[in-house]
Amino acid sequence: MPEGTRQIEMTWRCSSCSHRNLGRHAVCEQCGNAKDGSEQYEMPGDTAAAATIDDPELQQIAAGGANWRCFYCGSDQRRRDNSCAQCGAAPQAPPAPRAGQSPDRGGWLQRARAWVRRHPILAGAAALLVVIVLIYLWINRTRTFDAEVLAVNWEQKILVDRYQIWERDGWRQELAASAFEVRSLGQAIHHYEQVLDGYDTQHYTEKVACGEDCQDVPERCSESCSANNNGFATCRTTCSGGGRSCTTRYCSEARTRQVPRYRQEPRYAESVRYRIWDWGYHRTAVASGSSTADLRWPVEQARVGLALPDGEQERERREGRYSVTLGYDDAERVEVLVAPDAFERYALGSRHELTLQGSTISADGVPVSRVGDEP
């Protein structure tokens, strides 16, 4: 037997008379009933205090392998026995299942239960993961409703830029060639530069290796026992530690270093005020409403390009925002933004197919954004 390994004896309790028997006995010492599959071998409560098996015959049984179970009478037999001591039957595998009969007959469920008992933490984590996945699938399930338009809102803007003479401030060295009537406003701070202003001596401490600290480490041994499935268990002793353990000792050393010091110096340039022909924002005209029937651009208010002085021009930019409130599932409602070319289809009271999948919303098969979620 390998060094650090020993055999100890287990026990089993008779299901007929409750007598506790040593693992060496295949039949109950009190009532004579043979041990069967319902009577499990039990490990000693304190394996360290359990006696080591020294008897050669018992050692041979302990090392002989797991028991086999008689297919006919169900009693446990030693691995070295060639026939059942109760009914005389020879060892054999159970017959193959007939056509249409499950080969497992519920064995997978027993194995699953046994795995859960052996790995409760992993089983709990797996169950939690399944719950999370189910919640995610429930939240992101696809739901389709027949929705009604309860309200609409629109706003259309015309932003007008004008090409005209603008008066602006700037720096002389950055003036465009087309600037005119340039007037100096004097010197002003253009920016700041970081300039070296000397060095400062900085004192600090640094940890440096200065030897070792060592101590004796006691050897620690532990014994673990596993059942042989024959009334005995194999116990193995493993040891760790021993010898000496050393760690590097660190000491603090005072040191100095030169750290550069900087100052901020202003840099000046000539500030000017000038006039220039250029494009710039001039005004915004806004139209809004709560019906698809009165949708319009505020052209009359914008008056783009009308009554301009000589040399001036105007150009426009158009922006629109269109929202629809859809009612669905009795009292539920959602306000969404729709595309300009689709807005006129959403008249008050009209019906549309609304699809919800998690945070994704579609109306009539076209993705739309919830009001408040737009960038």
The tens digit of pLDDT for each residue in 249-266 reads: 999 999 999 999 999 999
Give the long-range contacts of residues 83-86, CB within 8 A, separation 24 or more: 85/26, 85/34, 86/34
Identify the pLDDT of residue 72: 78
Identify the pLDDT of residue 79: 85
Q: Tell me, letter by letter, the H, E, C secondary structure of the chain.
A: CCCCEEEEECEEECCCCCCEEECCCCECCCCCCECECCCCEECCCCHHHCCCCCCHHHHHHHCCCCCEECCCCCEEECCCCCCCCCCCCCCCCCCCCCCCCCCCCCHHHHHHHHHHHHCHHHHHHHHHHHHHHHHHHHHCCEEEEEEEEEEEEEEEEEEEEEEEEEEEEEEHHHCCCCCEEEEEEEEEEEEEEEEEEEEEEEEEEEEEEEEEEEEECCEEEEEEEEECCCCEEEEEEEEEECCEEEEEEEEEEEEEEEEEEEEEEEEEEEEEEEEEEEEEEEEEEEEEECCHHHCCCCHHHHCCCCCCCCCCEEEEEEEEEEEEEEEECCCEEEEEECCHHHHCCCCCCCEEEEEEECCEEEECCEEEEECCCCC
Query: Domain extents for the chain?
Result: 108-138
Identify the pLDDT of residue 334: 96
Compute φ and ψ for 218, nearest 5 degrees: -70, 150
Identify the pLDDT of residue 165: 98
Could you count the other beta carbons within 10 Å of the beta carbon of residue 350? 13
Q: What does the mean pLDDT of the chain come to?
A: 90
Give the chain's residues under pLDDT 50: none
Which among 104, 108, 107, 87 has a CA at the least distance from the CA of 96? Answer: 104
Identify the pLDDT of residue 103: 52
Measure the CA–CA gap between 109 and 115, rounded to whole angstroms: 10
Identify the pLDDT of residue 86: 80
Measure the CA–CA gap between 338 and 14, rounded to whole angstroms: 78
Residues in CB range of 217: below 8 A, 6 or more apart: 241, 242, 243, 244, 245
